[in-house]
Amino acid sequence: MSFGTGPFGKSINIAAQVVNGVCPTCKHEGIFVSLSPHFFRCITCGSDLEQKINGKISYMQAFPPGADIKMEVHGDKT
């Protein structure tokens, strides 16, 4: 069995970001967690949010309710 190929065969650098804000979906002040630079998840209601910076930082619903979200790995194919 060979290890070291494919997206999970090498080391993965993941940096989580945790921020506070008011969720536009549940209207509660809460904590948002992100593994991506601009997309966050509200830990209170589970809504996926997109961070917008336009003079101030605000969060908007990123996907319509019930949307399927698929994670893809892009990068070096060697």
Question: Tokens 């536009």, residue?
Answer: 24
E-strand spans in the chain?
Answer: 17-22, 29-34, 39-42, 48-53, 57-61
**What is the reported pTM?**
0.60
Contact 27, 20 (CB under 8 A): no
17-71, pLDDT tens digit by residue?
Answer: 999 989 999 999 999 999 888 889 999 998 889 888 877 777 888 777 677 777 6
Place of tokens 């949307």: 67
